[in-house]
Chain A
């Protein structure tokens, strides 16, 4: 088959003709996506004089949105700063100079940041120099995990609010005088405060040794329920006649409970509602803050004594009624010294009367206090 030498020309011409035809009429068969929406607004033409007069007007008075006033912007953070200085009167707008402390949370002082990480402050540190009894508010020496939004493999207590949260404990470093690319200012981070053993001079310099130490007090026990106390006696008796014994026991328990809860006549003239847990706790604190075993020998520290005494209606102990009921551990001398320390505590802190509900005198007319120093790690 012979091919004409113009075949290519024809094919090329046909192709170009088809392409041109497509460009001309092809748009008729394709939907256009670009749908330009033309917004129309009314405008007005103003003269140069009108424009000049408009510029001379206040910005707030124009149609444009009012720009924030400069004084308003400066005063805006002031209420947030003022709570840090309670003595400052809150409503008064502060001048710019007084608002200057605002950047403090953003750029901490380098000197403070270096010292801070060594001993992170406890969120609720007890007042060491204050009333020792205050430490008893701390419920327990054993760390208890707090409710936290973050779950991790180990418990991390709430850090100092001024310390940023980090992966590990990290001391804040101050930027060097001549900044280098290696040492960048780091934010201070901290982990929880913890101790594993008694800190002696072996672990800390003597200058930082505490002058006194108090152990976090145990959470006051809930007031003993009257019913079980009375019910002990019947349950220990042989139950030869179960039905009769049970009846008595149940009746005693029921009656005892009712007498403890309900008001009844008593010689003290007060109500007989049970002493509440907080009232009992306050009483414990009242004696405990005067209980000092710092001058006892090691044998006496191993002694637990139960001391009984009577109270006057003004909540002062009757000194002549103080007596030792029982003791455990230690020799005779050690018991005597432990009792003397307990007796001193009762008298000293009771001199002005204990914090007890006077209307419940009938329930604290007689008191028995167990002084147990054996749990204290002293030796």
Chain B
């Protein structure tokens, strides 16, 4: 009797359990494809804003599609048009063309040379707006920056990580034949637009690097006949030389995250070591004492460590040491030579140049040297620099031969989306996101 009762009780429990039990499945093989989005021309809400409306939408589309993470749907495929910034979205029309994100915007020009740009982002299949609408106000000359900011916001809302479109790149512009090349500092938007020159071509310049907030550039110049380090103010283009010690060569400078310290290489006699210089006090500290050649220092984002290259082991390898100097730990152990390490702004990876078997590569590895991945390969790839969000690397690619030239390229850290950015240019340095 007892057993029968228990069986009935168990049966009731089991039936209720089965009916409440959801169907459980597991997915672990996602697709990795650019997300299709639609960006109709922005609405011109005032006279004279038509051109801005079209151009803004075009730049936003170009930014997103250029990241390799998004795919712009041709406007020819649009079923419905956005006629008003506040009109309801016809989701069915956008679903029909498989637009998973929809960007709507509007532009207004004011009488004092200002424009107002506002936008909204929609998740089409969820039929919901992603985040609140945003509005930017700026001068008409800065309309591209506002487009970049819209693209950054869209990028961030969908990917969950910061954007990098509203940023600039300082580089070395190279013109003329290879044996008589003229080099000067140039600066441009991340996408190659709005180029300007910061120096003339009277002296060879090398390795420009942005300060942490992007207001200054530190670089090496042969203006005096010897390599010396200069600091240039981007706004005023004024510059000054750092400590000038006769009989020495200083090069490969880079700012510390605090913006006040600078690390660089200094050659005295036949020895090259890494030094730190405080820009305010002028105090100089020697960080390495090895008889080897040690150069290309780069701070970790938190400023506690420095990665650099050294041939102290006999071949050019990467080492990490404390920001105050001292014992260094070798982190590169693969075949070939490693150089120009740069710490990612996210702090998780180190980008580097690798030379192996007559080919040059841009690669990344974890900060302990593990997980090395080569992203590119060519006759000569070198000098990586990170995008502000740590997702993209820009570098120099030089072609072979007497007529060879240098071009700036960018590549996603996954190794995808390799593309040329700017011809006749080398040694890029990516700024942080502009304010």
Cβ < 8 Å to B, chain A residues 258-287: 259-260, 264, 266, 272, 275, 280, 283-284, 287
Q: Are B160 and A202 in contact, with the CB atoms below 8 A? A: no
The CA of A215 and the CA of B27, in the complex, are separated in Å by 12
Which of A17-25, A90-98, A150-158, A205-213 lies at the interface? A205-213
Q: Are B161 and A299 in contact, with the CB atoms below 8 A? A: yes
Which of B6-14, B102-110, B181-189, B222-230 lies at the interface? B6-14
Q: Are B32 and A376 in contact, with the CB atoms below 8 A? A: yes
Which of B46-54, B252-260, B335-343, B414-422 lies at the interface? B414-422
Among B29, B160, B375, B377, point to the contact of A218 (Cβ < 8 A). B29
Q: Are B376 and A337 in contact, with the CB atoms below 8 A? A: no
Query: B-facing mask of A156-197, CB < 8 A → 1, else 0?
Result: 000000000000000000000000000000000000000000
Enumerate chain B residues within 8 angstroms of A367, measured Cβ to Cβ. 22-25
Is the CB of B69 closer than 8 A to any CB of chain A? yes
Query: A-facing mask of B154-178, CB < 8 A → 1, else 0?
Result: 0000111100000000000000000
**Complex: chain B residue closest to A343, CB-CB:** B126
Q: Are B22 and A292 in contact, with the CB atoms below 8 A? A: no
Enumerate chain A residues within 8 angstroms of B126, measured Cβ to Cβ. 319, 340, 343-344, 347
Is the CB of B123 closer than 8 A to any CB of chain A? yes
**Complex: chain B residue closest to A221, CB-CB:** B26
Interface residues on A, range: 35 or more
Q: Are A288 and B159 in contact, with the CB atoms below 8 A? A: no
Q: Are B375 and A200 in contact, with the CB atoms below 8 A? A: yes
Enumerate chain B residues within 8 angstroms of A376, measured Cβ to Cβ. 28-30, 32
Cβ < 8 Å to B, chain A residues 345-371: 347-348, 351, 362-371
CB of B230, distance to nearest CB on chain A (Å): 35
Enumerate chain B residues within 8 angstroms of A364, measured Cβ to Cβ. 23
Among B3, B30, B130, B377, point to the contact of A371 (Cβ < 8 A). B30
Enumerate chain A residues within 8 angstroms of B313, measured Cβ to Cβ. none
Q: Are B70 and A295 in contact, with the CB atoms below 8 A? A: yes
Q: Are B159 and A212 in contact, with the CB atoms below 8 A? A: no
Q: Are B26 and A212 in contact, with the CB atoms below 8 A? A: no
Q: Are B21 and A348 in contact, with the CB atoms below 8 A? A: no
Q: Are B159 and A308 in contact, with the CB atoms below 8 A? A: no
CB of A222, distance to nearest CB on chain B (Å): 12
The CA of A142 and the CA of B22, in the complex, are separated in Å by 31
Enumerate chain B residues within 8 angstroms of A58, measured Cβ to Cβ. none
Among B26, B32, B375, point to the contact of A372 (Cβ < 8 A). B26
Chain B residues within 8 Å of A, Cβ to Cβ: 3, 6-7, 9-11, 13-15, 17-35, 69-70, 95, 100, 123, 125-127, 130, 158-161, 361, 363, 373-377, 391, 411, 413-416, 418
Q: Are A214 and B32 in contact, with the CB atoms below 8 A? A: yes
Q: Are B7 and A251 in contact, with the CB atoms below 8 A? A: yes
Q: Are B30 and A200 in contact, with the CB atoms below 8 A? A: no
Enumerate chain B residues within 8 angstroms of A368, measured Cβ to Cβ. 22-25
Is the CB of A72 closer than 8 A to any CB of chain B? no
Is the CB of A118 closer than 8 A to any CB of chain B? no
Is the CB of A110 closer than 8 A to any CB of chain B? no
CB of B3, distance to nearest CB on chain A (Å): 7
Is the CB of A34 closer than 8 A to any CB of chain B? no
Given contacts A200-B375, A201-B411, A224-B24, 13 further A-B contacts (CB under 8 A): A198-B415, A213-B32, A226-B18, A254-B10, A256-B17, A292-B31, A292-B35, A294-B31, A295-B70, A344-B125, A364-B23, A369-B25, A379-B413
**Complex: chain A residue closest to B14, CB-CB:** A256
Q: Are A255 and B7 in contact, with the CB atoms below 8 A? A: yes
The CA of A214 and the CA of B10, in the complex, are separated in Å by 46
Is the CB of A82 closer than 8 A to any CB of chain B? no
Q: Are A202 and B22 in contact, with the CB atoms below 8 A? A: no
Enumerate chain B residues within 8 angstroms of A136, measured Cβ to Cβ. 29
Q: Are A251 and B377 in contact, with the CB atoms below 8 A? A: no
Q: Are A298 and B391 in contact, with the CB atoms below 8 A? A: yes
Among B10, B19, B30, point to the contact of A288 (Cβ < 8 A). B30
